[in-house]
Amino acid sequence: MKRAKGAAAGQVRIIGGSLRGSVLRVADAPGLRPTPGRVRETLFNWLQPFIAGARCLDLFAGTGALGMEALSRGARAVTFVERDAAAARALQANLQRLNQDKGDVRGADAFDYLRGTASPFDIVFLDPPFAQALWDDAARQLEAGGWLARNALIHVESPVEQMPALPANWQLHRERCAGQVRHALYRRAAADPLD
């Protein structure tokens, strides 16, 4: 499991915003892969003009590091979706300990959640377990299900050697590789009704 520089085992440190330096306690869950600190730093530099007041969805939340960084930097609300019960409990405990009442943890499978009633999000963090290759299906459900605001931004993390098949109206805004991880920020354009 990759950890933020300066964080002990079972911990991830928030790197910016009002919660900078705060430690997130991390559950010991199979396949949990926190987004590395340098990736989070780059991503939130990209998101800096958009994050304040945004409604965010941390799908496949895991440690919740991305959603917590968003709250730290002024997001209006973050919904964390995590199916592993221990990880979801750890997320809830971190929100309570850090007095973050704008975070909402949903202990659910991401696809079950996406079959529910949609409410559009401004920013979505899409970082499923790499071994399960869930990007394509999750992206299709986000797009088709009404989960994305008109000009939503979607952050996608994937292995360098694997390029997810994303909806045609998701336009690449920025991308970078860090070790074996490719992370990219897409901007949603309105879908062509003739497609």
pLDDT in tens, 86-107: 999 999 999 999 999 999 999 9
Does the pLDDT value for residue 30 go beyond 80?
no
Question: What are 9's two structure tokens?
Answer: 């085992």
Q: Of the given ranges (30-34, 61-65, 89-93, 143-147), which has the lowest mean pLDDT? A: 30-34
pLDDT at 5 over 60: no
Range of weakest confidence among 21-25, 30-34, 99-103: 30-34
The model's pTM: 0.90
**Per-residue DSSP letters for 54-73?**
-EEEEET-TT-HHHHHHHHT
What is the rounded distance in angstroms from the CA atom of residue 123 to the CA atom of residue 154?
A: 6
Could you give the CA distance from residue 142 to residue 124 in angstroms, rounded to a whole number? Answer: 9
Q: Tell me which residue of 59, 29, 19 sits closest to 155, measured CA to CA.
A: 59
Residue type, 45: N
Q: Give yes or no for a contact between 41 and 35, defined as CB atoms under 8 angstroms apart.
A: no
Average pLDDT, the chain: 89
Longest Cα separation, the chain: 52
Q: How far apart are CA 114 and CA 104, in angstroms?
A: 15
Give me the domains of the chain, ranges plus CATH numbers: 11-188 (3.40.50.150)
Confidence of residue 31 (pLDDT cuts 50, 70, 90): low
Cα(82)–Cα(79) distance, integer angstroms: 10
Q: How confident is the model at residue 185 (pLDDT cuts 50, 70, 90)?
A: very high
The encoded tokens of residue 64 equal 């919740």
Structure tokens at 184: 């990219």
Q: In the predicted model, is pLDDT for residue 174 greater than 70?
A: yes
Give the whole-number percent of the chain exceeding pLDDT 90: 73
pLDDT (average), residues 41-52: 96
